A and B are shown apart, each in its own frame.
Chain A
């Protein structure tokens, strides 16, 4: 199974791992989950939609990254996977 990663677990960054799946699935673990869970989910969903991707599992370990960081890490991870 193909997987790829981008990012880090440094403060203000996130580590995004993507792998092939039958449908999109998002797993979020974040130090600011209580405050920003839905925003993190939304930026991942909308990025996948923009790229018309519907068959990856996205796992994010978030250390307080801002939306544009999350998006950049996700796009890079997908590129590395060959999407």
Chain B
């Protein structure tokens, strides 16, 4: 069976609420042990764990573009020429470039991840991965692991500080990265767990990763560069278009009655998202409102809002900058959470308690479907991350984007790749108007006297094309290189080879 035929045998997405009809599947957690073995080198780890052809190895991405651990493992695989491995890192960044060689040599032939950009994304887009790329969501990955659909042989977990009992913590050490949320499922369900650290201490007072699940501790010179954890943009935009979008978004949020005591919110770390947070903050202060929580990848911006008393607590699955790491380590109201608790549909996740979320989009279509996985040429450049999880969970999900980016209209007849289904997207805010998903009659009713520039998404589409001209349609691609798995594991779209 070729890849195209195989993909057609996988269960197809049929609705964002379909998971409710399927019972949660849970396999047993891994065996616990009271002893931890300490290893001195990667070759020793490979010998001890008998890393061999066909195994599944997992990693987390909390060190983001500063991570050394996945690369150290990849180098040892290349040296030993181990074949046909399944890699399951929670994300892949440009720094993981060595993985391209492993793909070309068929050392790695299947990949599960939630987000990828850089050279590895290009290599996969060229059709060089023998089997499929499975693009999951941050909540879908823990579901896939706990259900036994993604069995992991060995989890290599980069851990900034480890103690002599094998307990781990991310808030301290040379490569402190804060919350280790995405590693929890790997820790609890992999057959074998190796914590990789460069900071071994006698005893940790605060523990995030429980040593009872840890089989080995590998001590290396350095697990990564903490400066690499900073996400692309973590500063408020100064672009007047972005600021206009942010102001209108905050005004909309206020008019929808979402600025109230006990409110909860999440935004991304992009410049416009943070500008929305800044505007919402002003409304909160003006109204004397105190929120319950802000969640997500946490930035310094939300740390400061929490410290100023605007939120009871922060729920943090990953720290986006050093200020957030520092706060995670010292602020008792800054709580870590696992990827499962964040977004797994079966784990009563935090996303279900969000009042609103601010999200981005590379493309959105007239049915409100959103693409954050590929660009308009079909080239892989991202992935859902927590996009589909938060969009589904939050009471109001808001996409903020420029109507046009470098002549390309962001609203399409059909998006190139669906990552988040339109049924979960409620509002689109652009600099030239706001479109509400017609399914949300409740929101339209609340806004019926609003002076905000409300339009239909079709009107915004026509407006964009009147400015840019009608773009040519590109030829369709046919060779599948991967699939986009919705959070329940069903296939919502396919990824294709680019010529």
Contact = CB atoms under 8 A, between A and B. Distances in A.
B408 A35 contact: yes
Interface stretch (B37-45, B440-448, B466-474): B466-474
Contact of A64 (B377, B406, B474): B406
B382 to A, nearest CB: 18
Contacts of A64: 405-408
A35 B406 contact: no
Interface residues of A, number: 15
A53 B195 CA distance: 70
A29 interface: no
B71 interface: no
A13 to B, nearest CB: 10
A36 B469 contact: yes
Interface in B369-407: 376-377, 405-407
B407 A34 contact: no
Contacts of B406: 11-12, 31-32, 63-64
Interface string B82-110: 00000000000000000000000000000
Given A34-B377, A35-B376, A65 B407 contact: yes
Given A66-B467, A66-B468, A67-B469, A32 B474 contact: no
Interface in B342-389: 376-377
A12 B407 CA distance: 7
A39 interface: yes
Contacts, number: 35
Nearest to B475: A34
Contacts of A38: 472
Interface string A1-45: 000000000011000000000000000000110111111000000
B468 A34 contact: no
Contacts of B376: 35
B474 A36 contact: no
B405 A35 contact: no
A38 B471 CA distance: 10
Interface core residue of B405, B467, B472 (most chain A CB under 10 Å): B472
Given A12-B407, A63-B406, A34 B474 contact: yes
Nearest to A67: B469
A6 to B, nearest CB: 18
Interface in B470-493: 471-472, 474
A34 B408 CA distance: 11
A35 B408 CA distance: 8
A63 B241 CA distance: 18
A34 B475 CA distance: 10
A76 B94 CA distance: 41
A36 B377 contact: no
Given A37-B472, A38-B472, A32 B408 contact: yes
Nearest to B472: A35
Contacts of B474: 34-35
A34 B407 CA distance: 12
A19 B468 CA distance: 28
Contacts of A65: 407
Contacts of A63: 406
Contacts of A34: 377, 472, 474
A7 B377 CA distance: 26
Nearest to A39: B469
B411 to A, nearest CB: 14
B377 A66 contact: no
A64 B408 CA distance: 8
Contacts of A36: 407, 468-469, 471-472
A63 B405 CA distance: 10
A63 to B, nearest CB: 6
Nearest to B470: A39
Contacts of B377: 34
Given A35-B376, A36-B472, A65-B407, 9 more contacts: A12-B406, A31-B406, A32-B407, A34-B377, A35-B472, A36-B407, A37-B472, A64-B406, A67-B469
Give 5 closest A-B pairs by Cβ, nearest first: A64-B406, A35-B471, A64-B407, A39-B469, A32-B407
Interface of A: 11-12, 31-32, 34-39, 63-67
8 contacts: A12-B406, A32-B406, A34-B472, A38-B472, A39-B469, A63-B406, A64-B406, A64-B407
